[in-house]
Amino acid sequence: MTDVPMVKAEAVHKSFGRLEVLRGIDLEVAAKEVMCMIGPSGSGKSTFLRCINHLEKIDAGRLSVDGELVGYQQRGDRLYELRDAEVCRKRSEIGMVFQHFNLFPHMTALDNLIEAPIRVKKESRAVAAERGRKLLERVGLGEKVNAYPRQLSGGQQQRVAIARALAMEPKLMLFDEPTSALDPELVGEVLDVMRGLAEDGMTMVVVTHEMGFAREVSDSLVFMDGGVIVEAGNPRDVLANPQQERTRAFLSKVL
């Protein structure tokens, strides 16, 4: 592919105090690609995901989305930190789904969906609500338009959260362990929505423990441990025939 990759990371480092969480991450996610990231907790995969929309600042290396640096601008050979407004604009083009949903509890499902389009993209309420209803329909919650998050099950809440991210019409979707906080019987409904999204050609980076989803839906799989990428490649190959000892050890515990 000659296209600009949607996400490109080169030697990305990130530390929290003296703890080095990312120790040189190199990867590329092409447009319309679905990449799954797996690994033990504390391996840095969630931190990396949060770096992509600048919820965390990277300390070294280069990270860019759709050809533009995250959080900085390069003029000549100098880097300039982006102003808040610029950071916000870039974030508005990237959707993010959290482990604990983080729906706004004081708003109905529909209000959750239309808040950012109205306030950030300055859309009219009518246009935003129209798309909001369609999106709720699409995630199978057409009749929950006026429900408050507290009145919904975990799976329903996460589907609303996905719809909320989609309402901004993002070019990239980040999923941070979207099913980890769900009861086992609710995991399927969320994965189904994500599978549909992948089929529609959305570019997705998914941090997950769902090996089945990774095998069937993703185009590439990355196994992280200790802040580095241990192994990456075609998900079926990596899962069925891991080359690294650490990958084998991890997979033997989770599969």
Partner 1 sequence: MANAVGLQGEAIKAVPVRHPGRWVAAIVVGAIAAYIFYTVVTAIQNDHTKQGSGWAAVGHYLFNPLIFRGILVTLELTVLAMAVGIVLGVILAVMRLSPNPVMSWVSWLYIWFFRGTPVLVQIFFWFNLNLVLKSIDIGIPFTSFWLHANTNTLIPPFMAALLGLGFNEAAYMAEIVRAGIISVEHGQTEAAQALGMNRGLVMRRIVLPQAMRVIIPPTGNETISMLKTTSLAFTASVTELFTRQQQIATATYDVLELLIVASIWYLVMTSVLTVGQYYVERYFGRGTLRGMPLTPFQRFRRILFTFHAPPPAPVEVPVSLPRGH
Considering the complex, state which of residue 97 and residue 230 has its C-beta at the smaller distance from partner 1.
Answer: 97
**Least separation in angstroms between CB 231 and partner 1:** 29
Taking only Cα atoms into account, the Rg of the chain, rounded to an integer number of angstroms, comes to 18
Burial group, residue 167, by CB count within 10 angstroms (0-12, 13-18, 19+): buried
Nearer residue to partner 1 within complex by CB, 45 or 164: 164
User: Do 226 and 214 meet the contact criterion of CB atoms below 8 Å apart?
Assistant: no
Place of tokens 């994500």: 194
Nearer to partner 1, 174 or 239 (CB): 174
Total Cβ atoms within 10 A of residue 226: 15
Q: Whose Cβ is closer to partner 1: residue 8's or residue 50's? A: 50
Nearest partner of 141 among 163, 114, 173, 169, judged by Cα: 163
Judged by CB, which is closer to partner 1: 151, or 241?
Answer: 151
The percent of the chain in helix, strand and coil, each rounded to the nearest 5, is 40, 25, 35
Q: In whole angstroms, give the CA distance from residue 161 to residue 170.
A: 14
The partner residues of 233 in beta bridges, in order of sequence, read 221
Q: Which is nearer to partner 1, 91 or 238 (CB)?
A: 91
**Smallest gap, in angstroms, from Cβ of residue 138 to partner 1?**
18
Q: Which helix (H) or strand (E) holds 103?
A: none
CB 232 → partner 1: shortest distance, Å? 25
Question: At its nearest, how many Å lie between partner 1 and the CB of residue 150?
Answer: 6
Q: CB 42 → partner 1: shortest distance, Å?
A: 19
The least CB distance from residue 157 to partner 1, in Å, is 12
Chain residues binding partner 1 by CB under 8 A are 53, 55, 84-85, 88-96, 98, 100, 102-108, 115-116, 119-120, 148-151, 161, 164-165, 168
Please, what is the Cα angle at 72 between 97 and 20, to 5 degrees?
65
